[in-house]
Structure 1
Amino acid sequence: MKNSVIFNLPVKSLEKSRAFFSALGFTFNEQYCGPEAAFMSIAGDTVQAMLTTEPFFKSLINKPVVQAKEANEVVICLMCDSREEVDSLIAKALAAGGTTPHPPEDHGFMYDQGFEDLDGHLWNLVWSAPQE
């Protein structure tokens, strides 16, 4: 099995979501982008997401699409290399229209902060001190 994760996220506006995540520094592989979906690289080939319009996402499943502004099924957690990277990505998310659901949490050995994207999906950014 290849060490990579690809997850699908339903979005209300593909154009606005692409602009939001581009502002965070995520990139898109245009070979796999179209009017109903956009393939986004978060961490190279290791972590990627397919942003899909809600109608297209619904065609892939046989359940209702969760409205992430009303309920969440998952929190996407990304490990960062430093506290500064956490703060930088949070600042970019806020500048691009995201919100923060809680203040930063500093436990000394671990630092985290979350943001909610334009569609209400929750993302948590974490830095953890290296283990000795």
Structure 2
Amino acid sequence: MHRMIFPNLPVKDVAAARAFWTHLGFDFNEEFCNDRAACLVINDLASVMLLQEDFFHGFHQTQRHTGTEALICLTATSRDDVDRLCDRAGDAGAEAAGTVDEGPMYGGSFRDPDGHLWEVLWMETS
């Protein structure tokens, strides 16, 4: 059995978050989108729910956290794909968080406009 995963992230402005990820070339599942939520499609088994902050915290009566809560990593198809996605993120308002080159692994990272930390990683496989 293949499991699906739907991480949920709080965002300040759902429309702005959608615009950011659309600029990076991602699609949304409109069946699960409204003015308080947007379903960012990563692939057939992974989507990220971008939820308006008050809506996000209403599920379990949680409170806003001010530090890094998670590090989310997306794979890339090549080194150029890493650079291209990170550059597009910067163009769309993300803060660059650096690159790492460790032999068979190459990655970049950025903080999206809501402060979530994303890594983009390419791994050479033989």
Please show how residues 23-34 of structure 1 align to structure 2 within 5 Å. 23-34=23-34
Deviations 1:32-76 (A, max 9, x none): 11111011101x222201110001001112321223xxx111100
Please show how residues 35-114 of structure 1 align to structure 2 within 5 Å. 35-42=35-42, 44-67=43-66, 71-102=67-98, 104-114=99-109
Q: Return 5+ residue gaps in structure 1 as ranges.
A: none
Q: Return 5+ residue gaps in structure 2 as ranges.
A: none
2:114 pairs, out of 99, 116, 119, with 119
Which residue matches 2:19?
19
One-letter identity of the residue aligned with 2:111: E
One-letter identity of the residue aligned with 1:84: D
Rounded to whole Å, the distance in 1 between the matches of 2:58 and 2:2 is: 27
TM-score, scaled to structure 2 = 0.94
Rounded to whole Å, the distance in 2 between the matches of 1:59 and 1:22 is: 26
Rounded to whole Å, the distance in 2 between the matches of 1:2 and 1:8 is: 19
Rounded to whole Å, the distance in 2 between the matches of 1:25 and 1:9 is: 19
Rounded to whole Å, the distance in 1 between the matches of 2:45 and 2:78 is: 19
TM-score, scaled to structure 1 = 0.90
One-letter identity of the residue aligned with 1:47: A
How far did residue 117 of structure 1 move? Answer: 0.1
SS in 2 for 1:92: helix
